[in-house]
Amino acid sequence: MSETGHSFQQKITSGDLGIYVGGKFVVGEGTSLSLVNPATEKEIGQLTSASAAQVNDVVDVARRAFIETEWSTDKELRASTLRTMADLVAEHADAIAYLDSIEAGKLVTDMLDGDVPDVVANLRFFADLVGRDEGRFLDERSGWGWVRGIPVGVVGGVLPWNFPIAMLCWKVAPALAAGNALVLKPSEDSTLSALLFAELATQAGLPDGILNVVAGDGPGTGSALGLHPDVDMLTFTGSGEVGRMFLEYSARSNLKKVSLELGGRAAYIVDGEHTVHLDTVAQDAVGAAFGVSGQNCTASSRLVFVGSDEDFQRFRAAVQDAAAGITVGDPMSPVTGMGPVINKEAHQRIIEWIDEAAGSGATLWQSPQELPEVGYYIAPTILENVPVEAQLGTGEIFGPVTQIIRAATREDAVRLVNDEPYGLASTVWCEDIGQAKWWADQIRVGTLAVNGYSEGTVATPFGGLRQSGFWGRDNGPEALAGYQEQMTVWISG
Ligand code: NAD
């Protein structure tokens, strides 16, 4: 257990300090939120969310900070503050890991090996980009001038719970690097690490009011941000259903820019003819399917095999063996490979979807290990022959469930990806370079991983095609551009 993380949680919940505005914690005046640990089903504490009036006040503070501080104009300040923030996040890795674990059931090992280093890398990457973002100079017969990216202004961020600190930073680092002020609403299922992050940002020298956090639920606090007439841009990661609401909120308010990173139904395609070690592939595919308990927008929820009968049987057996080897349990334990799902509702829904698919003819396999008696745990689950009419046939399960699908041809496998409304990510395993190029030319998704599950790096843009996203990207220079408007200055001459 992290002492710093625990005492931060005590400070926030005992003082009911769910709002961070202008460099200070404030008590909310909206509805009450119960923070529940999904591994124990016990309440950690309660927080009062921001009321609509408080959201107005916080947006005012952000607007004033954007106008009155040097943040939007001083690139050196931005670069050096982002670097110090990276150092402070690295120093507080244990505390952040602890907070995301007790609220969202994240594995502490995943947090320390993955999420927190990703945040640090992100802050450093965008600190480096600040100085290189020079714009363009033009000199022509009609005159001369320049084009440069300027900050959008006040950016609202509405966030999910599956990677609380990482998804926060995928928004915050480029938005701050571009010179904006922010008001963040973390998910009601994972609020604490966002509040700690905001406090660390102040310690790093971020001017008061540039990064603010409001605790709250979606319909109350989230919609207040989405509908706010003085928020210039809304950046969102979450479900498609809620993402669409932000487009409506924008149309009904001030036509704020909206960037949406939404769900997925990633495929993991194995080209059997060009794959030698099916056991290695099965290990990787199982990690891609059941990591973060399958609650990942790029989770491989469909394992698609193209190849001979014999290889298919071998692959299926290897996948089941690899899944049976996952230790499900306490997210704080270093030996755990998979923790709980986020909450009671998700637990019930996932089980209902599995039962429905199995009841309508799918073959069900579940890892035989014992699950803890308390906590929202589900065993790694693999289904075959899921009818398209079942919810699992077209929906995003967002849980530790994958399907094995045998595709008759490579073209059929491609269609399984491209004909989906989702187009976020997929993986292909194919050890022949020419054939791998063929796959890459055929498949249309935001990120295609080849010969190993991956979401790319901090330098590669991440976002979805089709209904997996709307405008904008996280990561890479493309993310920075997404938090800027392009302005032309033309001097007649
Ligand atoms: P969600 O859409 O339920 O919630 C996301 C956020 O929206 C939360 O902060 C929530 O409070 C808020 N919200 C909910 N209802 C709202 C409303 N009526 N008005 C305004 N705000 C509202 O999603 P979730 O359950 O937190 O996350 C799971 C989803 O996120 C999955 O679909 C997953 O694929 C997606 N996701 C996508 C990416 C990506 O980068 N593409 C990354 C992580 C998660």
Q: How confident is the model at residue 200 (pLDDT cuts 50, 70, 90)?
A: very high
Distance of CA 332 from the midpoint of ligand 1 (Å): 25
Name the residue at shortest CA distance from atom 15 of ligand 1.
218
Average pLDDT value over all residues in the chain: 98
Give me the mean pLDDT over the 445-457 stretch: 98
70 is catalytic: no
Give me the mean pLDDT over the 371-383 stretch: 98
pLDDT score of 134 = 84
Beta carbon of 224 within 6 Å of any ligand 1 atom = no
pLDDT score of 133 = 79
Distance of CA 352 from the midpoint of ligand 1 (Å): 21
Beta carbon of 245 within 6 Å of any ligand 1 atom = yes
In percent, the amount of the chain with pLDDT more than 90 equals 98
Beta carbon of 391 within 6 Å of any ligand 1 atom = no
Distance of CA 256 from the midpoint of ligand 1 (Å): 19
Give me the mean pLDDT over the 435-449 stretch: 98
pLDDT score of 435 = 98
Give me the catalytic one of 199, 261, 396, 420. 261
Q: How confident is the model at residue 493 (pLDDT cuts 50, 70, 90)?
A: confident
Beta carbon of 190 within 6 Å of any ligand 1 atom = no
Name the residue at shortest CA distance from atom 26 of ligand 1.
160
Hey, what CATH topology would domain 3-262+468-492 get? Answer: Aldehyde Dehydrogenase; Chain A, domain 1 (3.40.605)
pLDDT score of 85 = 99
pLDDT score of 369 = 86
| Phi, psi (deg, nearest 5) at residue 280 | -65, -45
Condensed to tens digits (0 to 9), the pLDDT of residues 207-244 reads 999 999 999 999 999 999 999 999 999 999 999 999 99
Give me the mean pLDDT over the 261-279 stretch: 97
**For the chain, what are the domain ranges?**
3-262+468-492, 266-457
pLDDT score of 91 = 98
pLDDT score of 414 = 98
Give me the mean pLDDT over the 412-419 stretch: 98
Beta carbon of 202 within 6 Å of any ligand 1 atom = no
Beta carbon of 33 within 6 Å of any ligand 1 atom = no
Condensed to tens digits (0 to 9), the pLDDT of residues 316-360 reads 999 999 999 999 999 999 999 999 999 999 999 999 999 999 999
In percent, the amount of the chain with pLDDT more than 70 equals 100
169 is catalytic: no
This model's pTM is above 0.75: yes
pLDDT score of 16 = 98
Give me the catalytic one of 297, 396, 420, 430. 297
pLDDT score of 468 = 98
Distance of CA 247 from the midpoint of ligand 1 (Å): 14
Beta carbon of 420 within 6 Å of any ligand 1 atom = no
Give me the mean pLDDT over the 129-158 stretch: 95
Q: How confident is the model at residue 116 (pLDDT cuts 50, 70, 90)?
A: very high
The CATH homologous superfamily for domain 266-457 is Aldehyde Dehydrogenase; Chain A, domain 2 (3.40.309.10)
pLDDT score of 149 = 97
pLDDT score of 131 = 85
Distance of CA 238 from the midpoint of ligand 1 (Å): 2
Q: How confident is the model at residue 402 (pLDDT cuts 50, 70, 90)?
A: very high
Beta carbon of 226 within 6 Å of any ligand 1 atom = yes
Distance of CA 297 from the midpoint of ligand 1 (Å): 10
pLDDT score of 103 = 98
pLDDT score of 163 = 98
Which residue out of 217, 242, 471 has the highest number of ligand 1 atoms within 8 Å of its CB and is therefore the one to mutate?
242
Distance of CA 279 from the midpoint of ligand 1 (Å): 35
Beta carbon of 219 within 6 Å of any ligand 1 atom = yes
